[in-house]
Amino acid sequence: MKRATKDELIQGLVDARDKVMQAAQALALEQQGVVFLGLWSAKDVLAHLAGWDDTNRRAVQEILAGQRPSFWQHQDRDWKSYNALLVVRYRRDEWAELLALLAQTHRALIDYLQTIPAECYVAQRAIGRLLRTEAKDEAEHARQIEEFRQRLA
């Protein structure tokens, strides 16, 4: 049961990121920087996700240390301010560089999650909530990117 929970959570993140990467890689060059989601282009969405990879890795470390994740100090409506900060910090103008960053931050998150004993995923339910929320957010962004691509096709 414990191992299944860990595997399910990690696989959910991997599957969601695969969908994001497929949608992003299908974009034409001229679509990559076009704003389509509020103030965000696909580059901004990907930067946001890279930032949350690092944020979530830190948050899991903090949860395991018995602390409240530090990103909560930035909470506002829809995490607007924190997301804006992440976009500024992680955005790259070069598409290939941005995709490489996104792969690197995700790999670091997954590698770290693999080191955590399975029983921690059950004992610390906040970890599961955090990771399920991230997978759901990524699936939504994959859908948004794909719909944008199809609208312009």
| Look-up of token digits 């959570």 | 9
Q: How far apart, in whole angstroms, are the C-alpha atoms of residue 44 and residue 46?
A: 5
Distances (CA, A) of 104 to 19, 107, 108, 143: 16, 5, 6, 22
Q: What's the CATH code of the domain at 130?
A: 1.20.120.450
Structural domain harbouring 132:
2-152
Helix (H) or strand (E) holding 102: helix 95-115
Q: How far is CA 113 from CA 23, 37, 41, 144, in A?
A: 25, 30, 29, 27
Count of the separate structural domains present in the chain: 1
* pLDDT per residue as tens, the chain (153 positions): 677 899 999 999 999 999 999 999 999 999 999 999 999 999 999 999 999 999 999 999 999 999 999 999 999 998 999 999 999 999 999 999 999 999 999 999 999 999 999 999 988 999 999 999 999 999 999 999 999 999 987
